[in-house]
A and B are shown apart, each in its own frame.
Chain A
């Protein structure tokens, strides 16, 4: 009897030990033992890209069992609200704040006061000024220069003898577009001529303005060999303009989106010059920021990376790393490059 009890106990102990070690193995290194709460504060949450990003951030935080609560606030593109969100969540006692500082340096004083109050503050993707360890814990940027380099290398491959490039970006003077241009110019020499107004054609990432800008450029330039755009899906409404001029859609180097992939799938046969290359649109940038915030708040191991580099995603020419993808059964406004599964994204954007 005694022996069997011992036996049973040892089995129980073994099972417990093995399950604990399994749990430990599943826990990422950036997740420490200290309990903490985290909030993702978005400057503007009103598009599908942001919703998928929010879902990715939540998924990442859920990997760490020490995180007891995950909260989210949408600044709605209103700088005042973004600032009061940061202050409000810090005052509420949330331990770590991951901030998409759309308003730029305008949110810096709020970030600094939260940081001085002992919170972990991790701004990401948009440069807000300030310094690591002084005004916030850590800034997790994205390397838009690398995106430009990836596009430039692909363009060199499809147009070895040079050609006319049209570069479209968002609002005038946005740092993302300027960095991408830096990357492009580091790879492409004078054989490649930028036919847009310097530094880039302003689209505000708005589909109707994109359409108007592209119409004017197509009319003005009889030869456009490649379009470079940092928000591919906003081109879906604009690319059919080429048909109005009886011209083929040219090669396109951009970021991914399901609607764009499907547009290519449906139109590449009628448009012989339409080659497509995409970099991942960068929803997973938030994951690195969450890793940093959680590691700092829970006492986990700090990630080695501080800048998010968007991997290349689709290439219609080489099929590497992936051929062009289209999930016609799912909403167009999802991003197949994201770490969040396509079906989960569909749920996130169809809420």
Chain B
């Protein structure tokens, strides 16, 4: 609760600054810069234009699912159905058109419809039925995997050429998926920080009881967080289907952990409240670049995994240290 109260304090203090800079942003930005320097020194190939063109699409995917997870975490919840949501979008985008470009748009709309339904189910279970978010979303994840099997029989199919071109292509030498991620970031940031609905959303996350007391519709906003999350998962899934061209039916599995990791690295409190979309997206780039770095320096697979784990531990540790300092300050006041 202290953390939540802190977040509310932050929100009020924020009004005094023209350009607010969150401390988490500084940390993640500095870490990313340090990583880029390390890449330049130890593994210059990992920051060559070709390598970036190849790896940025995956950073974009992590960023998009991370933004979805961020919105849910802001409401003090968790969306563990990210894996199912992404996988379902992947198989719908690949199976329904079956190679026919003309059927791509209906497929994307169908995927979005499914995401809406999944998000509403999550949201109603958590927001209105008051189920624990972890339990509700694990259940919905199982349902989504049921749908993945129903659509695909567990069998991947090759995506249409149009989707491969849109999601896997590049404009002005920047992978298209990066534009999608930046667009998602711009929309999320603008709505969160500059609209009434976004401000209410953050206030509710920081302190639901106070928000209810001032007459905000807490449950509705909590429900919508899950809807946004699933819609972003759907976007990530459709892009992923195009980027990998021949995706598996379980392509979302490897995204659940990174989606939470980037939210934490982006310094958003797991207790809810203020969210940091820009930091989250930078963290996604950081996480992806870190794995490219590990691949490029050519260490064994075991060491690659350890490097990533250490970096994550370090990232989370940095925030822990700050928390301790704040506590002390509060005590001395």
Contacts and interface: CB of A to CB of B under 8 A. Distances in A.
A and B from one complex: yes
Contacts of B168: 237, 240
A245 B55 CA distance: 13
Contact of B50 (A197, A237, A245): A245
- Please indicate which of the listed interface residues B58, B243, B298 has the most CB atoms of chain A within 10 Å of its own CB: B298
Best-buried of A45, A172, A218, A244 by chain B (most CB within 10 Å) = A244
Nearest to B245: A237
Contact of A208 (B247, B292, B296): B247
A308 to B, nearest CB: 23
Contacts of A47: 154-156, 248-249
Given A215-B50, A244-B50, A245-B50, A259 B155 contact: no
A202 B251 CA distance: 17
A172 B155 contact: no
A241 B56 CA distance: 12
Contacts of A197: 298-301
A279 B300 CA distance: 28
A43 to B, nearest CB: 13
B224 to A, nearest CB: 30
A215 B244 contact: no
B246 A259 contact: yes
Nearest to B298: A197
A212 B291 contact: yes
B147 interface: no
Contact of B154 (A46, A216, A236, A331): A46
Interface string B285-300: 0000001100110111
- Give the bracket for the number of chain A residues in contact with chain B: 35 or more
Name A's interface SS. Answer: helix
Nearest to A76: B154
A218 B245 contact: no
B244 A220 contact: no
Contact of B51 (A172, A198, A207, A219): A219
Contact of B251 (A74, A198, A208, A333): A208
B46 interface: yes
A271 interface: no
Nearest to B302: A172
A233 B246 contact: yes
A46 B295 CA distance: 28
A216 B296 contact: yes
Contacts of B36: none
A53 interface: no
A349 interface: yes
Contacts of B225: none
Contact of A219 (B48, B244, B300, B302): B48
Contacts of A141: none
B51 A211 contact: no
B246 A215 contact: no
A51 interface: yes
B138 to A, nearest CB: 15
Contacts of A46: 154-155, 248-250
A218 B296 CA distance: 10
A216 B288 CA distance: 12
B254 interface: yes
Nearest to B255: A208
B53 A244 contact: yes
A332 B295 CA distance: 29
B246 A236 contact: yes
Contacts of A206: 248, 251, 254
B263 to A, nearest CB: 21
A172 B301 CA distance: 7
Interface in B240-292: 240, 243-251, 254, 291-292
A257 B23 CA distance: 51
B156 A48 contact: yes
Nearest to B148: A46
Nearest to B54: A215
B158 interface: yes
Given A219-B46, A237-B245, A51 B158 contact: no
Interface string B35-54: 00000000101101011011
B12 to A, nearest CB: 43
Interface in B19-34: none
- 3 closest A-B pairs by CB: A215-B54, A46-B154, A219-B51
11 contacts: A46-B155, A197-B300, A211-B243, A212-B54, A212-B58, A213-B295, A218-B50, A219-B48, A236-B158, A259-B246, A333-B158
Interface of B: 43, 45-46, 48, 50-51, 53-55, 58, 153-158, 168, 170, 240, 243-251, 254, 291-292, 295-296, 298-302
Interface of A: 45-48, 51, 74, 172, 197-198, 202, 206-209, 211-220, 233-234, 236-237, 240-241, 244-245, 259, 331-333, 349, 351
Given A219-B45, A236-B246, 14 more contacts: A47-B249, A51-B153, A208-B58, A208-B247, A211-B58, A212-B295, A215-B50, A216-B46, A219-B46, A219-B48, A220-B45, A241-B50, A244-B50, A333-B155
